Chain A
């Protein structure tokens, strides 16, 4: 073992390392969330932790903040090894985390929220005294917020400041910010960045979790990248790297699968998206004029870093989300802002990003999950009844065709592995002989064999003449499957690519429109 060697290194470097995590491993049932991850934070720096959704960033930081215990690995704070069994231990060691979802009591004042759970004040609150303390603290770090205001009266940005104040009040030296910009409007983001800089000046060290490249470049001194639970880059200096390189580290460029792909024979336009605008759940603009077409018999890829409007686009097309402007036409017929059922009856299939939360009902059987979209039609529907023998027959057939590995079609799907669950969804969606298929992250979290299976099924559908919109963050997957690729950035299409020029795609993914790239090249 090289442990002793490494330990010596630690003591030498511990001068400037506030946090030093070595070989962190964390397993969840069926997932290896962190696989021998190393991470270090220097005093007085802003260190970005970059990675896609599900790359293991939040897990790693929850370990550091004492919420999870690692299965293996060491954590050193100021050079001393520590084991946290609760967030309280972590805060005592000076580590505070500001979560994505705020943990505030809306009906109480800012000061009361900050004091919540502390030993002092003991019984009487002496609120006026503490209002002043909070006011001083917020002044010092430029976190403007009225200590007397009730939390429900505050904007999201102000609530975030309260969360930060909460940690500062508890004496945090290291602040972990979990995707702090996700909930903020652009103007608020600038304000947050100023706050972060002023905190660094006061001697704090910050970890900034994000999957947004431009923010990382704007705020961080150094950056570490995680991908599928593994570190792909440790402590790169942001000055010495660029967005393009980071994008590649984040989405990866593994060996391309060899796919037996026949030339594309595009037919008529099936999906026509025209200047589409829509909002996200928080009421901010998510789609800002998206225009694209998908023809029969082609796979069109949509590339982009997560959170740039992909999810909203898929939801508007399938009818799960309303749009605020523009059109979605299916074979020339308007389908935006109409019920989901209309789309289903017109042959729109949708493979949602979230298999367990959206795509399936966990406690229902495989059969019940497979008939989710065909139970209204004969032969499974017989008047107002469901023909159970017909349903079982249908499910058994799909189980065999798509190799769903379950002992019986009566098994509840919550017992299925990710790959099998995805096969259930694919089988169901394809059984309706779709004319348009929207596949969002269809291979996320699957193992290599399952990924190949999904790819093969998508290509078969293309051969069968379906129009397929493939939304993915995996560049290699998009490149190997798609006939054309659109790149989306902040709710706008940056350009369309026929070839697989990965550098150009990388530039577009980070916000440079194709026109500009061409203008520069020419």
Chain B
């Protein structure tokens, strides 16, 4: 029990009059506390990163300023940050909703690829002729991406519900299938002139970008932010609404918090496992669709630098809150962009790692408190 934990962790040193005790929190910390802890963790991480930059012969302060400038310095780079953040928002939401029910969907990456495939299929099969109006093209591609992602979520969901197959393993393995599936099509079926990529989509299948409106609004010139951002923000609202305002979301939260209580309240857990996996897959699929139609404009091999896996981290850092997912995604988008900027030093990757470790470790302080006690007191 909790008491034993504190007693086994507390070292009893005879000589030194003080000892550190780690005690489980019995009371809820105040509301500001989690934020303060998170900010403290980030500051600590930046300081640790600064030490390493210094040891490597750099100037920590200047490096940080450079990183900040590279991702937030101007409207142009901020727009690029947003472009990077867009798929992250959607996969982050995909993971957040699954994790809410304690379904460990590690397969957002595969669902992302399948979503990209589904959207491409509309153009490349072709299901719709190239001169179709964007008003039909884009919704059709969205639908295809969502359906393909949902299917990729349905399979592990059904296996879990029906045969209790561990979803961590099945979703992880299905990532490899998804990548290989896409490769088959770009190497063989839709290969353009022997290159491992499809031909470029017709313009009507591109998601509109801000730059497209530069004629009317000059300030938008060169900005690559595309419609996918609105999809991401809309999805955040939808996920929040589902989780906190719908009967289904209530069931998800109840099952996630205490499956025994959910069974006692008469909920159908197996059906929800399948549905939530499909919802999660659909969001990740939409991320794939948005990336392929908003940025890449063709189906090719390297469409994701591990967005699906980053989504897992984002969902956790956001504490599974849909709106926090948006903020954390922008932060990660900035780090990815800065990484490209300062290549090949690897410093941003390292800072990203240190921040993650610090943030995750700081969670400990929410559940335990550290007390320094006099030995005499303890006896």
Binding site for B on A (CB under 8 A): 27-29, 67-69, 85-86, 318-320, 339-341, 343-344, 350, 352, 357-364, 368, 371-373, 375-376, 381, 384-386, 388, 412, 415
Contact = CB atoms under 8 A, between A and B. Distances in A.
Contacts of A339: 266, 268
A318 B265 CA distance: 10
- Report the 9 A-B pairs with minimum CB-CB distance, sorted nearest first: A341-B266, A340-B266, A361-B257, A361-B258, A372-B265, A361-B261, A358-B260, A344-B266, A363-B257
B3 interface: yes
Contacts of B15: none
Given A361-B257, A363-B257, A368-B253, A340 B246 contact: no
A368 to B, nearest CB: 7
B314 to A, nearest CB: 21
B28 A415 contact: yes
Nearest to B28: A415
B8 interface: yes
A384 B251 CA distance: 12
B247 A381 contact: yes
B266 A68 contact: no
Interface string B246-267: 1110100110011011111110
B27 interface: yes
A357 B246 CA distance: 25
B247 A359 contact: no
Contact of B258 (A67, A68, A69, A360): A360
B8 A362 contact: no
A28 B3 contact: yes
Nearest to B258: A361
Most buried by A among B245, B246, B254, B265: B265
Given A361-B261, A368-B253, A385-B246, 6 more contacts: A29-B3, A29-B26, A358-B260, A361-B253, A381-B247, A384-B247
A86 B8 contact: yes
Given A350-B264, A385-B245, A375 B4 contact: no
B125 interface: no
Interface in B218-258: 244-248, 250, 253-254, 257-258
Contacts of A384: 246-248
A352 B264 contact: yes
B245 A388 contact: yes
A29 B25 CA distance: 11
B124 to A, nearest CB: 36
A375 B2 CA distance: 34
- Dominant SS at the B interface? helix
Nearest to A344: B266
A338 to B, nearest CB: 11
B247 A386 contact: yes
B372 interface: no
Given A28-B1, A68-B1, A388-B245, A364 B264 contact: no
Contact of A373 (B244, B247, B248, B266): B266
Given A28-B1, A385-B245, A359 B250 contact: no
Interface in B245-295: 245-248, 250, 253-254, 257-258, 260-266, 268
A372 B254 contact: yes
B35 to A, nearest CB: 18
28 contacts: A27-B3, A28-B2, A28-B3, A69-B7, A319-B266, A320-B263, A320-B264, A340-B263, A341-B266, A344-B265, A361-B254, A362-B257, A363-B257, A371-B250, A372-B261, A373-B265, A376-B247, A381-B247, A384-B246, A384-B247, A385-B245, A385-B247, A386-B246, A386-B250, A388-B244, A388-B245, A412-B28, A415-B27
B245 A364 contact: no
B209 to A, nearest CB: 35
Given A340-B266, A358-B260, A364-B257, A375 B250 contact: yes
A30 to B, nearest CB: 9
Given A29-B26, A373-B265, A386 B245 contact: yes
A350 B266 CA distance: 12
Nearest to A372: B265
A375 B4 CA distance: 39
Contacts of B250: 368, 371, 375, 386
Contacts of A373: 265-266
Given A358-B260, A386-B246, A364 B2 contact: no
A305 B2 CA distance: 29
A439 to B, nearest CB: 14
Contacts of B4: 67-69
Contacts of A372: 254, 261, 265
Contacts of A358: 260-261, 264
Nearest to B244: A388
A306 to B, nearest CB: 19
A339 B7 CA distance: 45
A86 B268 CA distance: 43
B326 to A, nearest CB: 22
B258 A362 contact: yes
B261 A360 contact: yes
Most buried by B among A350, A362, A385: A385
Nearest to A31: B1
A386 B245 CA distance: 5
Contacts of A350: 264
Nearest to A341: B266
A381 B247 CA distance: 7
A391 B5 CA distance: 39
Contacts of B261: 358-361, 372
Nearest to A319: B266
Contacts of A388: 244-245
Interface string B1-28: 1111001100000000000000000111
Contacts of B246: 384-386
